[in-house]
Structure 1
């Protein structure tokens, strides 16, 4: 493992965050806080509790997960797309650095940035509603796994995209709707039976469900199913990235 190479790429990506702190940190925190205020006030006045939990507290895990997904995705996709756009990706590929080291550096930086944003949102939410974390170890586990998985997915999108429109296509038209329909703001048990079954086809459900269980001990699906599906998504992303580097897909053209 070339730790110096990993450190160099990781440090560069983290430094870029500090140069765009308004876009990278402040903007997503403000946006998520507005989600919390609007949904908590507008819907919370009509739905006092969900499964015995106040609606304001109930949506906090979903909002954090929504932020982790979108930020990990955008950070990682732009991080690897920009070197392709400028042509500097060939310098990285010609260096004695393996695909695993490149992936660890870029994905690690993207996951770190999104985790930092998620932590700020968690702290901010604690000022609005009383929060309890019954299973902190599991909370950290799902928190980090979600950051890593969507950073890996963003890394894949960044390699696949050959223009800025494609770079935004998956996050805006696929991931965000899946997050909203995956139980971020409601329990899928509130849906009609047929739609509950359809919703289980949404992979985001398992991430949000496991994360919410770590807070309140209640979930739409079992903890172990959520964890198993989480690792399935992780290994699928890793397999796709390995294939991309092995075949040179969109990297050697």
Structure 2
């Protein structure tokens, strides 16, 4: 059976085509959800470990020294300052890693990926279904970090307001889409480790999670603002602590465009995938 789409791209404007695409997305997503729901506790707990270590080590340990030296640009103290960054960090790691390993497992071990490629659905539906599963993973883990943040600060609305959740959702979408692309291209689990070490780990520390990029020299500022996690950290921090008038609205189109571009790349990859 041909792996090419049965639905011409130029007909995407019709409601029936959109309904079919959405139905196909849910079908692909449901397959991943059936596997995910039996491991919910494991997924949430694994994504909570690193943020908790950073919160204790940096927020509580280093935080007292930082509070005496400077006043954070958002939040009452350094612990509050880094909490939105920890939400961004946890959602990035799980959205990317969970999606990547899910596709790698299907491709390299269970060998069920070929069956999915033979499904009579559009490549965009395949990508979006996998991406939706990654978003759910990221949101679940971020939810546990949000609970910790609420317990640490007592600010419920700061971490559960619609603007905060919108930025968080877009961040999960960006890194889930990136995880799909990486999962489709890596040849082994060792390759996933390389991507993690050279992309995710550096971004964890350089993505404005622990500092305000405004204070950086110009050369470093350029690098930091090339990272999508930077916009998530800035957006979550502003949505949590700053007045609406001070919210950096540019973070939403940046994250949205990033997710759309990565989705287009992933859909094209699905349409030509051979294994």
TM-score bin, normalised by smaller chain: 0.7 to 0.9
Match of 2:65, SS state, is: coil
Q: Which TM-score applies when normalising by structure 1?
A: 0.88
Matched, 1:230 2:255: yes
Alpha-carbon offset, residue 172 of structure 1: 2.6
Q: Which TM-score applies when normalising by structure 2?
A: 0.81
Residues 231 and 255, structure 2, Cα contact 8 Å, conserved in 1: yes
Match of 1:223, SS state, is: coil
Match of 2:63, SS state, is: coil
Query: Any idea what the Cα deviations from partners look like across 1:8-65, whole Å, max 9, x if unmatched?
Result: 4323322323443454121221332222111112210111130262111110110000
For structure 2, which runs of at least 5 residues remain unmatched after alignment?
1-19
Query: Any idea what the Cα deviations from partners look like across 1:66-106, whole Å, max 9, x if unmatched?
Result: 00001000111122222211322111111212212212221
Provide the C-alpha distance between the structure 1 equivalents of 2:218 and 2:165, rounded to a whole number of angstroms.
Answer: 32
Matched, 1:65 2:88: yes
Tell me the residue number matched to 2:65.
Answer: 46
Provide the C-alpha distance between the structure 1 equivalents of 2:38 and 2:218, rounded to a whole number of angstroms.
Answer: 49
Q: Which residue among 41, 44, 47 is the counterpart of 1:28?
A: 47
Between the two proteins, the alignment pairs up a number of residues equal to 249
Q: Which residue among 78, 83, 95 is the counterpart of 2:106?
A: 83
Tell me the residue number matched to 1:169.
Answer: 194
Alpha-carbon offset, residue 222 of structure 1: 6.5
Provide the C-alpha distance between the structure 2 equivalents of 1:124 and 1:218, rounded to a whole number of angstroms.
Answer: 23
Q: Which structure would you say has the larger Rg?
A: 2
Matched, 1:109 2:136: no
For structure 1, which runs of at least 5 residues remain unmatched after alignment?
none
Q: Give RMSD over aligned pairs.
A: 2.4
Tell me the residue number matched to 1:37.
Answer: 56
What pairs up with 1:76-155 in 2 under 5 angstroms?
A: 76-85=99-108, 86-131=110-155, 133=158, 136-155=161-180
Residues 134 and 217, structure 1, Cα contact 8 Å, conserved in 2: no
Matched, 1:201 2:226: yes
Residues 74 and 238, structure 2, Cα contact 8 Å, conserved in 1: no
* Structure 1 residues 2 and 186: alpha-carbon distance in aligned structure 2, compared to 1, 3 A threshold: closer
Residues 168 and 232, structure 2, Cα contact 8 Å, conserved in 1: no
Provide the C-alpha distance between the structure 1 equivalents of 2:24 and 2:265, rounded to a whole number of angstroms.
Answer: 22
